[in-house]
Amino acid sequence: MVFLVLLLFAVQVLFNLYATSVVTAAAFDAAHQVADAGGDPAAQAPALDHAHRVLGRYYEKVRFDWAGSDDAQVHLHVHAENRNFAFAGLRLDALQVVDRTVKVRVECFREGDRCR
């Protein structure tokens, strides 16, 4: 019985680490797409559509916040609650909550002092 409980715990830890990795990668991809568009806010919707395709149904658990972006960097804050039954009585936020801020630099080709 102890072995099965430890095995279940290990599986839940691996699932949470995988979820953290996928959410962080989707956030980086979305921020990178917006930065490639020169930081244009109109590029945020297609970037979130891409994140939705990558995350599938898990997308519903993730909040995306573009606050803090400027002309030089794109800032994307993601927050996901990953509560599950194995950790129901424990407050292990390090394993159950994904809270990341992704910063991607906006790069452009310069002609004199202007970006094109």
Question: For residues 103 and 96, which has the higher predicted lDDT (pLDDT)?
Answer: 103
pLDDT(86) > 90: no
Number of domains in the chain: 1
**84 contacts: CB under 8 Å, gap ≥ 6:** 12, 15, 16, 96
Domain that holds residue 22: 2-115
- Mean pLDDT over 60-87 rounds to 84
Q: Note the pLDDT tens digit of each residue in 21-59.
A: 999 999 999 999 999 888 888 999 999 999 999 999 989
